[in-house]
């Protein structure tokens, strides 16, 4: 009992609590729609990166098709809402389900390969998905794009009030809650037996198999969970921005998510979050400097990779140890 209480009030969970409270109260003292909008984008990318981290960081499979699932989720929701008139909440679940089913088919095929073969194979799937979205105009409107995706409808509350999603702040809360749910679920998975099986596969697949584990099943499960949350993030993007074009599933999106994970720190819960937030902010800050913006961004990436092994979280760990903190997490 005391132990649980100790864990509950440990410095780490206190910090997390403070962060969560801060995240919820931000719209009260940051009224700038511009900054809230950036926070929203950061949260969406953080969701997508966190889910990618499950298959990549914790299960050790370099999945380069993640952007495709983000896009499939986004398009599924957009099409369900616009063409079939399905309301937002069921459309969200359906879109995630559709993506998971497609993920299952792709995963079944792709996970037979390993290492670099898996990486490039999934990248090919990503390209193929983007081409399909672009060419199947009858379904997706192709390169013209899917426009006019509405925000979620108001949620009725007691006493005749309701939560509407027209303001930026309201959308921020929706997306923040989604992000926190994603983090919670993935955190629980990582710290469960399932998570241990994922990490066993990451460590040494053959060894894990020889110990009686079904590596394929573990990889597939991890793959599917990651596509579920990628799709969710995609749906949130679709309804927030309101417009979709095939580029949203492009392999460049995948690479960007990969960058967030690595810069933040692969295989840590916080890494993808930090990566998504800090890189998005850096990208914004680099506007209007003397050197071409993307060139500077490229330098930032290289410098972080070379000087902060293990990404920003790795660097943080070093700092922590350097300043006399106790080792271990």
| Candidate list 8, 17, 21, 147; residue touching other proteins; CB under 8 A | 147
Is 323 among the residues that bind other proteins (CB under 8 A)? yes
Helix%, strand%, coil% for the chain, nearest 5: 75, 0, 20
Stretch that binds other proteins, among 75-83, 157-165, 210-218, 242-250 (CB under 8 A): 242-250
Closer to other proteins by Cβ: residue 11 or 85: 11
User: Other CB atoms closer than 10 Å to residue 190's CB: what's the count?
Assistant: 19
Is 121 among the residues that bind other proteins (CB under 8 A)? yes
Is 83 among the residues that bind other proteins (CB under 8 A)? no
Distance separating alpha carbons of residues 305 and 283, to the nearest angstrom = 16
Size of the site for other proteins (CB under 8 A): 83
Q: Position of tokens 């949130």?
A: 236
CB of 39 to other proteins, least distance (A): 9
Instruction: Draw the binding track, 269-308, toward other proteins (x: CB under 8 A; -: no contact).
Output: -x---x--xx--xx-xx-xxx--xxxx-xxxxxx--xx--
Is 104 among the residues that bind other proteins (CB under 8 A)? no
Distance separating alpha carbons of residues 52 and 61, to the nearest angstrom = 10
Cβ-count burial of 90 within 10 angstroms (0-12 exposed, 13-18 middle, 19+ buried)?
Answer: exposed
Return the beta strands (E) in 30-133 as ranges. Answer: none
User: By three-state DSSP, how is residue 243 classified?
Assistant: strand
The pair phi, psi for residue 113, each rounded to 5°, is: -100, 165
Instruction: Scan residues 26-65 and list those touching other proteins (CB under 8 A).
Output: 32-35, 37-38, 41, 62
Per-residue tokens: 87:
């309301």
| Candidate list 52, 68, 169, 262; residue touching other proteins; CB under 8 A | 262
Is 113 among the residues that bind other proteins (CB under 8 A)? yes
Distance separating alpha carbons of residues 308 and 82, to the nearest angstrom = 45
Stretch that binds other proteins, among 79-87, 111-119, 155-163, 182-190 (CB under 8 A): 111-119
Stretch that binds other proteins, among 74-82, 85-93, 109-117, 196-204 (CB under 8 A): 109-117
| Candidate list 144, 180, 186, 226; residue touching other proteins; CB under 8 A | 144
Are 96 and 286 in contact by the 8 Å Cβ rule? The answer is no
CA dist 69 to 23, 27, 65, 117, 234, Å? 27, 30, 7, 19, 8
Stretch that binds other proteins, among 69-77, 107-115, 205-213, 219-227 (CB under 8 A): 107-115
The pair phi, psi for residue 273, each rounded to 5°, is: -65, -50
Closer to other proteins by Cβ: residue 17 or 90: 17
Is 23 among the residues that bind other proteins (CB under 8 A)? no
CB of 123 to other proteins, least distance (A): 7
């Amino acid at each position: 009992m005391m132990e649980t209480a100790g864990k509950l009030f440990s410095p780490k969970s206190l910090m997390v609590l403070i962060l969560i409270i801060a995240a919820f109260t931000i719209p009260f003292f940051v009224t700038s729609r511009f900054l809230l909008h950036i926070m929203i984008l950061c949260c969406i990318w953080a969701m997508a990166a966190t889910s990618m981290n499950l298959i990549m960081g914790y299960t050790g499979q370099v999945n380069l098709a993640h952007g495709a699932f983000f896009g499939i989720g986004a398009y599924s929701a957009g099409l369900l809402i616009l063409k079939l008139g399905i309301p937002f909440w069921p459309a969200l679940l359906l879109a995630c389900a559709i993506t998971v089913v497609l993920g299952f088919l792709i995963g079944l095929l792709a996970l037979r390969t390993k290492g670099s073969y898996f990486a490039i194979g999934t990248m090919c799937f990503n390209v193929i998905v983007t081409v399909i979205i672009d060419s199947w105009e009858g379904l997706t409107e192709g390169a013209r794009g899917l426009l006019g995706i509405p925000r979620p409808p108001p949620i009725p509350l007691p006493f005749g009030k309701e939560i509407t999603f027209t303001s930026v702040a309201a959308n921020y809360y929706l997306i923040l809650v989604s992000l926190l749910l994603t983090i919670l679920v993935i955190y629980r998975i990582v710290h469960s037996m399932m998570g241990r099986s994922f990490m066993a596969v990451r460590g040494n697949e053959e060894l894990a198999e020889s110990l009686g584990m079904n590596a394929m099943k573990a990889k597939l499960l991890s793959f599917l969970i990651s596509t579920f949350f990628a799709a969710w993030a995609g749906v949130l993007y679709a309804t927030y921005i309101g417009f979709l074009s095939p580029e949203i599933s492009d392999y460049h999106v995948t690479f960007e998510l990969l960058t967030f994970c690595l810069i933040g720190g692969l295989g840590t819960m916080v890494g993808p979050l930090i990566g998504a937030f800090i890189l998005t902010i850096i990208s914004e800050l680099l506007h209007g400097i003397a050197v071409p913006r993307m060139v500077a961004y490229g330098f930032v990436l290289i410098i972080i990779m070379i000087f902060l092994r293990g990404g920003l979280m790795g660097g943080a760990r070093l700092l922590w140890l350097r300043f006399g903190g106790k080792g271990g997490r």
